[in-house]
Amino acid sequence: MRLSQMFGKTSKEKPADAELASHILMMRAGMIYQASAGVYAYLPLAWRSLKKIETIIREEMDAINGQEIRMPVVQPQDIWEQSGRYDQMGSLLFRLQDRRDRQLILAPTHEELLTNIVKATVTSYKDLPLVIYQIQTKFRDEARPRGGLIRVREFDMKDAYSFDIDEAGLDQNYKAMIHAYENIYRRCGLNVVMVEADSGAIGGSESHEFILLADSGEDTILVCQGGHYTANAEKATFTKPIPPIFAQENLEEIHTPDAKTIKEITETLGVSASSTIKTVFYMADNELIIVVIRGDLEINEVKLSNALGGVNELRLASREELLAAGQVVGFASPIGSGTTRVISDDSILMGNNFIVGANKPDYHYKNANYERDFESDIIADIASAEGGHPCVVCGQGLIAKKGIEVGHVFKLGTKYSHSFNATFADSNDQPQPMIMGCYGIGIGRLLSSAIEQNHDERGMILPTPIAPYHVSLIALNIERDEISESANCLYQDLIEAGIEVLFDDRQESPGIKFNDADLVGLPIRIVVSPRNVSNNVVELKTRMETDSSMVERGNIVREILNRLDQ
């Protein structure tokens, strides 16, 4: 492709609303166009990279006997109501109504529809296992789209689904999909870590995320220093420190003026945070609940939601809601909770004689003990793991790292097959529910994440397998006949050798051409200049190199092919 004919222009200016490097660089390189918040058009450079990613994904899906189909974006609302996800996903769903007043949604994923399709097709255990996948546009009404293609409202995704006769079959397909994902990321030139994850609105018994490590990531993962454990912060567990246990003492009220926070309490009373109890009020689907955790720990709201059995809306209660319920803000506790449900972290079982609120202004209790002084409706691990906490496997410290989720796999089990009565006849001709898994990769997010992981102050450094072109061919002083002839001849030689070339044939200054080449970040740059032509050489430099080298004109095609292989 001749750059003079390419649709899309580079820019020196940073987009006003862009913060992440990938967003800035893709906009400046003329790869994407923002139509509205979280909605983008892919221009030729981006589209070529995205198609390469799709090709790699298709090849790896086909290698594990995946079969590609295409399902509609527009789906009937009632199947989402039947699965329970219509309310669960809430405002994330785009809703619409047709001219006959039928309620529809724009699908963010396709578990419901595909379960019905497979139910209508599969009758016997002989029809299973199946791995079905598609690459298609999805919609999610994100409240805060960010980072260009990192978090958007319209996006392309590879979503795959497995159907098996038993858990052993699901395990086999789950492992095969993980292997395929590892191949995809490796072939795309990306450094990705697999971590334990929460299943969220998709559901299921087990899930893992694939995280591309990047300081700009919005996900936090915890990694054991010894390499024994990795998990998303939403899922991570850790070994909770156990403070000394003393003989139980009598509950006693103490005066603590203006000491509302854990820090203020520890400073006022000269005690450790682990000897205090933190009381936090939440609204769970409009129900006021009391959440209790040891003072040295923080509440993990995903774990809390799971402990409650999954809620559609979980948020901190407002001051107004607490006052209306008769709670004393800053000095509340689970003691005397009445009919209000109490959910406690299991850390309250590790320690005793705690300091808690006395449910009246400026007073706390000391020597509060679980069961004797207060009870809990639910006790579970609802604490957030943080860097420095001991690994649950080996005890070494956990390290917190930032990253971007670039893939997620789920063991769904029978969640959707039960919802839609999707069964097959077993070898005894008895109906059994299909055992399902689902597996997703965001295509645009993968490209943006690759740029987040591979860039410098000059621009992108695109991995060769997903770069839109292999080579940036720059002709300096192209208005001169001998330069034009030499550059055009080299351009044709490269194309005939199967090398993808972006030929900068514009009549622009060397500085503009070199800056644009660095911005777009193709793997190899070659330069044709008057001096090079007179010496019968071509200047060659990879995007990662600082210095260029001179290659004889007759050897340049072979040298480029060797570099690309490396």
Q: Mind listing the pLDDT tens digit for each residue in 169-186? A: 999 999 999 999 999 999
Structure token pair of residue 485: 């002839």
The DSSP letter of residue 444 is H
Nearest to residue 116, comparing CAs of 61, 161, 167?
161
What are the structural domain ranges in the chain? 3-236+400-452, 252-380, 469-565
**8 Å CB contact between 561 and 553:** no
Helix (H) or strand (E) holding 472: strand 471-475
d(CA 70, CA 86): 22
E strand intervals along 287-397: 287-294, 314-316, 341-345, 354-357, 363-368, 378-380
Q: In whole angstroms, how far apart are CA 305 and each of 283, 291, 380? A: 11, 11, 11
- The yes-or-no answer to whether 3-236+400-452 and 252-380 have a common fold is no
Which sign, positive or negative, has the C-alpha torsion 417, 421, 422, 426?
A: positive
Return the CATH class of domain 469-565: alpha beta
**Which tokens in the block code for residue 275?**
């000897």
d(CA 190, CA 403): 12
Q: How many residues does the chain have?
A: 566
Local confidence pLDDT in tens for the 566 residues of the chain:
999 999 999 999 989 888 899 999 999 999 999 999 999 999 999 999 999 999 999 999 999 999 999 999 999 999 999 999 998 888 999 999 999 999 999 999 999 999 999 999 999 999 999 999 999 999 999 988 988 999 999 999 999 999 999 999 999 999 999 999 999 999 999 999 999 887 665 556 688 999 999 888 888 999 999 888 999 998 899 999 989 888 999 999 999 998 989 999 999 999 999 999 999 999 999 899 999 999 999 999 999 998 998 788 899 999 999 999 989 888 999 998 888 999 999 999 999 999 999 999 999 999 999 999 999 999 999 999 999 999 999 999 999 999 999 999 999 999 999 999 999 999 999 999 999 999 999 999 999 999 999 999 999 999 999 999 999 999 999 899 999 999 999 999 999 999 999 999 999 999 999 999 999 999 999 999 999 999 999 999 999 998 999 999 999 999 999 999 87
pLDDT digits (tens, 9 = 90+) for 346-402: 999 999 999 999 999 999 999 999 999 999 999 999 999 999 999 999 999 999 999
Given the candidates 2.40.160.20, 3.60.15.10, 3.90.960.10, 3.40.50.300, the CATH classification of the domain at 252-380 is: 3.90.960.10
Residues with Cβ within 8 Å of 186's Cβ and at least 6 positions away in sequence, in order, are none
Among 161, 164, 366, smallest CA distance to 256 is for 366
Sequence-distant contacts of 489-494: CB under 8 A, at least 24 apart: 490/526, 490/528, 490/538, 490/553, 490/556, 493/556, 493/557, 494/557, 494/560
Question: Scanning the structure block, which residue is given the tokens 């351009």?
Answer: 491
pTM passes above 0.85 = yes
Closest-CA residue to 20 (of 242, 215, 303):
215
pLDDT at site 539: 95
Separate counts of helices (H) and strands (E) for the chain:
15, 31
Q: Name the fold adopted by 3-236+400-452.
A: BirA Bifunctional Protein; domain 2 (3.30.930)
- pLDDT for res 204: 61
The whole-number pLDDT of residue 236 equals: 92
